[in-house]
């Protein structure tokens, strides 16, 4: 227990230091939302990797590897990796403007409603983001609560309210605080999962023994449950079936490049090339995180053939840590899992609060406020939303990794076409954006509720038909809407329109010299 306390104390001290530093650094709205569009490569890789590796990866994916076998590698690990590979396609265009949008909904406004005083589209996207990120923060809180309470014995409810403090410490400083703490979190996560996988590797006798067990075991996932079919854990389809696995892969992959937090992340780097290299570097770093997680998830089946009745597969990591790892490794792994939850939750909390306050409230009310007021109100929003996410986590509604699939699928269904066509098709216009977002979101929810195996594919197909009809039955997009994403030099009218959009909600402070 003493090791857990020592490691945690160091961790908390760093979080507070990073936040205080960030509070001094972040002065403008740009600083607060996207780090002033001047993020360097190393910090960019640190923050991207940490945001990528959430509690759904560290806790949920080993859980699915344990219950469904290697198919989870295709569904989640390869699915997210393929989605990540597509992010540079977005980065290549969206980071082109000299003064890019500050938020994802603001990009939607730039691209589709540049002349509107109050953008309904920006508000709709802001509301959809708010709902999605509230649920994603909720997943992080739940994951943290499960792990922390299982390992330390502290009550689950107490643990999740404790987590509130962690995410508030790292979120109130804005983007720079999130980025700085994320970089440390990436190191902690990597060290934690490498150590834990080393212990599992040694205890199981290596990969040969793990594969041999997976090939022959019929032990049920949960004690008292139905026995597994022999060899199913090594089958590429696992316990999912082709349709379900394809749906998981496609939701995780195509949902990723159009998820608002990844689009916003591509607005933070100092230029297009840094944004592209940032993703390539992150995918390299992830080998050292996902590889060990695969060993942990599959190796756990050798050590613990069945999970005790009454627990879900999300408990497999806490069970392994509790029963098989030395205290120091357990302590570091626990901090690594907390770091994964915190680093994703703080980033998503920032997006959630920004979308609600900046893209919905300030946009609709047309209020003009100072940078200082913006930051204070945003901090209050973060506090309120974090509290709601924690209260919702008292009775967790879903499995961690699958919750991510649903929300990524929803984001992909609503935003995939709008993002990709908006960046690569000049003809894509306002009517197409309304049709794409509305049809995609509604059809995804309906298809999911009706129990279709591939709701994402159905929603995107319906959305594409709607977009094409809307685009070809209305006027072309104006030059001012698409020019910044297609040309290096823009016309005066486009420059004027972009400045009007940027200054519509707050009094922009003077440009500041480089920081960080």
Partner 1 sequence: MVIAMMTWVGTMIFSFLLGTFLCYKVEKSGVKRWGATGKLFKYK
Interacting residues with partner 1 (CB under 8 A) = 41, 70-71, 73-74, 77-78, 81-82, 84-86, 88-89, 91-92, 95-96, 98, 211, 214, 234, 236, 270-274, 276-277, 279-280, 283, 287, 290, 488
Angle 272-303/79-94 helices, nearest 10 degrees?
170
Diameter of the chain by CA atoms? 71
C-beta closer to partner 1: residue 85 or 304:
85
User: Which residues lie across from 222 on neighbouring strands?
Assistant: 307
User: Which residues lie across from 269 on neighbouring strands?
Assistant: 39
Other beta carbons within 10 Å of 8: 15
Q: State in angstroms the smallest separation of the CB of 322 from partner 1.
A: 28
Q: State in angstroms the smallest separation of the CB of 451 from partner 1.
A: 26
Distances (CA, A) of 95 to 90, 311, 417, 443, 481: 8, 45, 18, 30, 15
C-beta closer to partner 1: residue 97 or 260:
97
Q: What is the 8-class DSSP label of residue 196?
A: H
Measure the CA–CA gap between 410 and 416, rounded to whole angstroms. Answer: 10
Q: How far is CA 364 from the centre of its chain?
A: 27
Q: State in angstroms the smallest separation of the CB of 274 from partner 1.
A: 5
Measure the CA–CA gap between 298 and 292, rounded to whole angstroms. Answer: 10
Q: How far is CA 95 from the centre of its chain?
A: 19
Question: ∠ CA(475), CA(478), CA(481), 5° rounding?
Answer: 130
C-beta closer to partner 1: residue 234 or 479:
234
Q: State in angstroms the smallest separation of the CB of 301 from partner 1.
A: 13
C-beta closer to partner 1: residue 411 or 485:
485
C-beta closer to partner 1: residue 84 or 436:
84
Distances (CA, A) of 218 to 67, 225, 232, 298, 409: 11, 11, 9, 14, 32
User: Which residues lie across from 307 on neighbouring strands?
Assistant: 222
C-beta closer to partner 1: residue 152 or 271:
271
C-beta closer to partner 1: residue 21 or 273:
273
Q: State in angstroms the smallest separation of the CB of 183 from partner 1.
A: 18
Q: State in angstroms the smallest separation of the CB of 390 from partner 1.
A: 34
Q: State in angstroms the smallest separation of the CB of 488 from partner 1.
A: 5
Q: Which residues lie below 8 Å from residue 379, measured CB to CB, with a gap of 6+?
A: 172
Q: State in angstroms the smallest separation of the CB of 409 from partner 1.
A: 18
Q: State in angstroms the smallest separation of the CB of 56 from partner 1.
A: 17
C-beta closer to partner 1: residue 268 or 290:
290
Measure the CA–CA gap between 350 and 170, rounded to whole angstroms. Answer: 10
Q: How far is CA 503 from the centre of its chain?
A: 28
Structure tokens at 319: 């069970």
C-beta closer to partner 1: residue 276 or 303:
276
Question: Residue 275's closest CA among 103, 79, 514, 93?
Answer: 93
C-beta closer to partner 1: residue 71 or 349:
71
Q: State in angstroms the smallest separation of the CB of 426 from partner 1.
A: 17
């Amino acid at each position: 227990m003493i090791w857990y306390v020592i490691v945690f104390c160091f961790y908390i001290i760093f979080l507070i230091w990073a936040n205080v530093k960030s509070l001094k650094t972040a002065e403008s709205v740009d600083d607060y939302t996207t780090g002033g569009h001047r993020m360097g490569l190393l910090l960019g890789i640190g923050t991207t990797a940490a945001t990528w590796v959430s509690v759904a990866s560290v806790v949920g994916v080993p859980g699915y590897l344990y219950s469904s076998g290697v198919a989870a590698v295709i569904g989640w690990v390869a699915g997210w990796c393929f989605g990540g590979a597509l992010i540079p396609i977005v980065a290549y265009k969206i980071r082109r403007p000299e003064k890019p949008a500050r938020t994802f909904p603001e990009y939607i406004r730039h691209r589709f409603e540049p002349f509107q005083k109050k953008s309904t589209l920006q508000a709709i996207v802001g509301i959809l983001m708010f709902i999605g990120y509230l649920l994603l923060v909720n997943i992080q809180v739940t994951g943290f609560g499960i792990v922390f309470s299982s390992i330390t014995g502290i009550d689950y409810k107490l643990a999740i309210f404790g987590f509130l403090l962690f995410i508030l410490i790292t979120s109130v400083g804005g983007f720079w605080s999130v980025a700085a703490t994320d970089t440390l979190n990436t190191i902690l996560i990597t060290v934690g999962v490498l150590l834990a996988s080393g212990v599992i590797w040694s205890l199981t006798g290596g990969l040969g023994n793990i594969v041999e067990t997976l090939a022959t075991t019929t032990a049920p996932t949960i004690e008292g449950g139905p026995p597994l079919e022999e060899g199913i854990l090594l089958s590429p389809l696992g316990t999912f079936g082709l349709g379900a696995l394809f749906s998981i892969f496609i939701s995780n992959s195509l949902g990723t490049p159009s998820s608002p937090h990844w689009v916003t992340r591509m607005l933070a780097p100092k230029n297009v090339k840094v944004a592209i290299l940032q993703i390539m570097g992150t995918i390299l770093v992830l080998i050292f995180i996902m590889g060990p997680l695969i060993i942990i998830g599959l190796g756990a089946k050798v050590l613990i053939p069945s999970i005790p009745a009454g627990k879900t597969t999300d408990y497999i990591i806490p069970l392994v840590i509790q029963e098989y790892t030395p205290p120091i490794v357990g302590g570091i792994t626990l901090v690594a899992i907390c770091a994964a939850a915190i680093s994703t939750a703080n980033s998503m909390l920032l997006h959630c609060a920004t979308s609600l306050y900046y893209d919905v409230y300030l946009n609709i009310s047309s209020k003009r406020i100072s940078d200082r007021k913006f930051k204070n109100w945003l901090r209050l929003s973060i506090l309120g939303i974090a509290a709601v996410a924690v209260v919702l986590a008292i009775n967790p509604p879903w499995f961690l990794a699958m919750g991510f699939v649903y929300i990524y699928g929803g984001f992909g269904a609503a935003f995939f076409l709008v993002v990709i066509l908006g960046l690569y098709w000049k003809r894509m216009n306002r009517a197409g954006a309304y049709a794409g977002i509305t049809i995609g979101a509604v059809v995804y929810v309906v298809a999911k509720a009706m129990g279709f195996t591939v709701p994402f594919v159905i929603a995107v197909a319906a959305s594409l038909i709607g977009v094409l009809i809307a685009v070809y039955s209305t006027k072309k997009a104006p030059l001012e809407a698409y020019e910044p994403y297609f040309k290096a030099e823009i016309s005066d009218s486009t420059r004027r329109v972009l400045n009007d959009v940027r200054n519509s909600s707050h009094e922009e402070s003077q440009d500041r010299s480089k920081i960080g």
